[in-house]
């Protein structure tokens, strides 16, 4: 799944998932997971280095279901949203 130049895999998610993103500069990004009603489930700030990044995030505490992941680098007003499925 590609989100605003970021790739998310695997999807469906079992315990962890990876966000691949190539950043034009060192910066932070915020990764937020929302349920289908729009309720925030978890939010994580991650550090990105200039160039290719692979950020591994833990989904062990998220119940099975369908969620929306929002990936928002701090250097841009743009953000990407994708649907992820947690299934164990």
CA–CA separation, 30 and 36 (whole Å): 19
Per the listing, tokens 């998310």 go with 8
For 8-61, what is each residue's pLDDT tens digit? 999 999 999 999 999 989 999 999 999 999 999 999 999 999 999 999 999 999
CA–CA separation, 20 and 37 (whole Å): 27
> How far, rounded to the nearest angstrom, does the alpha carbon of residue 81 sit from its chain's CA centroid?
8
Which phi and psi (to 5°) does residue 75 adopt? -80, -5
Per the listing, tokens 């500069």 go with 25
Whole-model pTM? 0.88
- Residue 57: the pLDDT is 97
CA–CA separation, 13 and 62 (whole Å): 10
- Residue 65: the pLDDT is 97
Residue 78 pLDDT grade (very low, low, confident, very high; cuts 50, 70, 90): confident
More confident residue, 30 or 4: 30
């Amino acid at each position: 799944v590609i989100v605003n130049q970021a790739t998310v895999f695997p999807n469906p998610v079992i315990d962890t998932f990876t966000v691949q993103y190539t950043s034009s500069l060192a910066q932070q990004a915020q990764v937020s997971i929302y349920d289908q009603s729009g309720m925030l489930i978890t939010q994580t700030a991650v550090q990105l280095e200039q160039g290719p990044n692979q950020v591994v995030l833990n989904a062990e505490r998220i119940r099975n279901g369908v969620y929306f992941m929002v990936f928002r680098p701090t250097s841009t007003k743009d953000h990407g949203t994708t649907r992820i499925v947690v299934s164990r």
